[in-house]
Amino acid sequence: VYKRQDQDVERLFPQVKEPVLICPAEQGPIPMAEKRQLVQAAVDKIPRAEVVWFEDTAHDIHVDRPKALASAMLEFAKEVSP
Protein backbone atom coordinates (compact mmCIF):
# COMPACT_ATOMS: atom_id res chain seq x y z
CA VAL A 1 0.00 0.00 0.00
CA TYR A 2 1.55 3.21 -1.08
CA LYS A 3 0.01 6.63 -0.88
CA ARG A 4 0.67 8.91 -3.81
CA GLN A 5 -0.11 12.55 -3.42
CA ASP A 6 -1.43 12.85 -6.96
CA GLN A 7 -3.85 9.91 -6.65
CA ASP A 8 -6.64 8.99 -4.27
CA VAL A 9 -6.22 5.23 -4.40
CA GLU A 10 -8.19 4.65 -1.19
CA ARG A 11 -11.43 5.49 -2.98
CA LEU A 12 -10.81 2.50 -5.26
CA PHE A 13 -10.34 -0.05 -2.46
CA PRO A 14 -14.06 -0.90 -2.04
CA GLN A 15 -14.21 -1.82 -5.72
CA VAL A 16 -11.70 -4.64 -5.24
CA LYS A 17 -13.71 -7.86 -5.09
CA GLU A 18 -10.95 -10.47 -5.27
CA PRO A 19 -8.95 -11.61 -2.23
CA VAL A 20 -5.89 -9.45 -1.58
CA LEU A 21 -2.78 -10.33 0.37
CA ILE A 22 -0.94 -7.25 1.61
CA CYS A 23 2.69 -7.94 2.52
CA PRO A 24 4.24 -4.83 4.03
CA ALA A 25 7.82 -4.71 5.26
CA GLU A 26 8.40 -3.09 8.63
CA GLN A 27 11.55 -1.29 7.51
CA GLY A 28 11.79 1.25 4.73
CA PRO A 29 11.36 4.95 3.98
CA ILE A 30 7.78 5.27 5.26
CA PRO A 31 7.58 5.77 9.05
CA MET A 32 6.03 2.75 10.77
CA ALA A 33 3.06 4.66 12.22
CA GLU A 34 2.15 5.99 8.77
CA LYS A 35 2.67 2.58 7.17
CA ARG A 36 0.38 0.90 9.73
CA GLN A 37 -2.26 3.55 9.08
CA LEU A 38 -2.07 3.06 5.30
CA VAL A 39 -2.28 -0.71 5.63
CA GLN A 40 -5.20 -0.52 8.05
CA ALA A 41 -7.05 1.83 5.69
CA ALA A 42 -6.66 -0.75 2.94
CA VAL A 43 -7.80 -3.62 5.16
CA ASP A 44 -10.82 -1.63 6.33
CA LYS A 45 -11.93 -0.84 2.77
CA ILE A 46 -10.96 -3.94 0.78
CA PRO A 47 -13.58 -6.57 1.57
CA ARG A 48 -11.29 -9.62 1.37
CA ALA A 49 -7.91 -8.24 2.41
CA GLU A 50 -5.45 -10.01 4.65
CA VAL A 51 -2.10 -8.75 5.96
CA VAL A 52 1.18 -10.52 6.66
CA TRP A 53 3.80 -8.18 8.13
CA PHE A 54 7.47 -8.86 7.45
CA GLU A 55 9.67 -7.90 10.40
CA ASP A 56 13.35 -7.08 9.94
CA THR A 57 12.73 -6.63 6.24
CA ALA A 58 13.03 -3.66 3.94
CA HIS A 59 11.16 -2.95 0.72
CA ASP A 60 12.52 -5.92 -1.25
CA ILE A 61 10.78 -8.74 0.60
CA HIS A 62 11.16 -11.06 -2.39
CA VAL A 63 14.94 -10.58 -2.16
CA ASP A 64 15.40 -10.42 1.61
CA ARG A 65 12.90 -13.11 2.66
CA PRO A 66 11.89 -15.12 -0.44
CA LYS A 67 10.94 -18.31 1.40
CA ALA A 68 8.81 -16.49 3.97
CA LEU A 69 7.05 -14.52 1.23
CA ALA A 70 6.43 -17.64 -0.85
CA SER A 71 5.07 -19.41 2.21
CA ALA A 72 2.70 -16.54 3.00
CA MET A 73 1.49 -16.44 -0.60
CA LEU A 74 0.93 -20.20 -0.78
CA GLU A 75 -0.95 -20.22 2.55
CA PHE A 76 -3.12 -17.33 1.36
CA ALA A 77 -3.83 -19.09 -1.94
CA LYS A 78 -4.94 -22.21 -0.05
CA GLU A 79 -7.26 -20.13 2.15
CA VAL A 80 -8.98 -18.36 -0.72
CA SER A 81 -9.11 -21.20 -3.22
CA PRO A 82 -12.50 -22.90 -3.60
Would you write out the chain's pLDDT as a tens digit for each of its 82 residues?
555 566 677 888 999 999 999 999 998 888 889 889 989 999 999 989 999 999 988 889 999 999 999 999 999 999 999 8
Q: Which long-range contacts (CB under 8 A, 24 or more apart) does 45-48 make?
A: 45/10, 45/13, 45/14, 46/13, 46/14, 46/16, 46/20, 47/14, 47/16, 47/17, 48/16, 48/17, 48/18, 48/19, 48/20, 48/80
Q: According to the model, what pLDDT value does residue 80 have? A: 94
pTM for the predicted model, two decimal places: 0.84
